[in-house]
Amino acid sequence: MERPAWAGPEVDVSKPSAARIYDAHLGGFHNFQVDRDAAAKIAAFMPELPDIMRANRSFLRRAVRHLAGQGITQFLDLGSGIPTVGNVHEIAWKANPDCRIMYVDVDPIAVSHSRMILSGIDQATAIQGDLRDPHKILSDPETQRLLDFSQPVAVLMFAVLHFVPDADDPAGIIREYLGATVPGSCLAISHASLEGSEPEKAEEATQQFRRSVTDFSMRTRTEITSLFDGLELVDPGVVYLPEWKPDHGDEVKDAKRTSTFAGVARKNR
């Protein structure tokens, strides 16, 4: 295939990536046929998946707006993916132009395109990194340059922890990130779940994702809630995506169909 200008030589265009599949489901333009094929296979078992991803993007918007409204001016977005309309920096800067945003993703195309969008801007950038290596990400010179860890930081993990298997200890990873922050910092998570969906369809979609892309670990509401242990959950707690402080127009008849839980919490000590 002909390589588009926005895909550098470091990008493997022969294998699907989670970030580009997400972009494909959102109707974006930064994906390849291999990603669209994988997206179609998964959606065949979960046709509601594009709606779920749009609901997740809406939660991102509301969560970032809430955090900025609480005085948070620094955001560490882990697993940030392909930039689309309604990125963290766009939302945060509407609330406070002084906000600083560090995007992190394992996919080189997500990082290179983020850097292209943010070229010439001092208050936001992107680095390539695996969120399972907190020390490397936190000690990266760009992270240290952009974020002041003596002040509160919002750690964002939107639709990414279900790619972290239990063997990699997602709760321990979260503790390491939060351990580097001061009281007043916050954690925002959205996470796919088997609850709320048809179990057989969800399991088949999970297996399809594992075969086509990468490991995928849906968790229960109780397991997702436990990821916030030691933090103070913001009302309404851990709920389905459309139920977290919905804006007018975000409401849905059956929030359970999103099969994804979301929550925001504050570190008090």
Report pLDDT for 187.
98
Average pLDDT over residues 126-130: 96
Total Cβ atoms within 10 A of residue 166: 10
Instruction: Tell me the range of 2-16, 176-190, 207-221 where mean pLDDT is highest.
Output: 176-190
Nearest alpha-carbon partner for 22 in 165, 195, 160 = 160
Indicate the CATH number of 51-200+215-267 among 2.70.98.60, 3.40.50.150, 3.40.50.300, 1.10.10.60.
3.40.50.150
Beta strands in 9-123 (DSSP E): 74-78, 100-105
* 265 strand-pairing partners: 187, 233
The confidence score (pLDDT) of residue 199 equals 56
Q: Are 49 and 109 in contact (CB under 8 A)?
A: no
Cis peptide before 236 (omega within 30 of 0): yes
What are the tens digits of pLDDT across the range 78-108?
999 877 767 899 999 999 999 999 999 998 8
Q: In this predicted model, what pLDDT tens digit does every residue of 47-60 receive, in sequence order?
A: 777 788 889 999 99
Q: What is the mean pLDDT of residues 165-186?
A: 97
Specify the pLDDT at position 158.
Answer: 96
pLDDT at residue 202, rounded to an integer: 55
Could you give the angle at the alpha carbon of 117 between the alpha carbons of 73 and 142, nearest 5°?
55
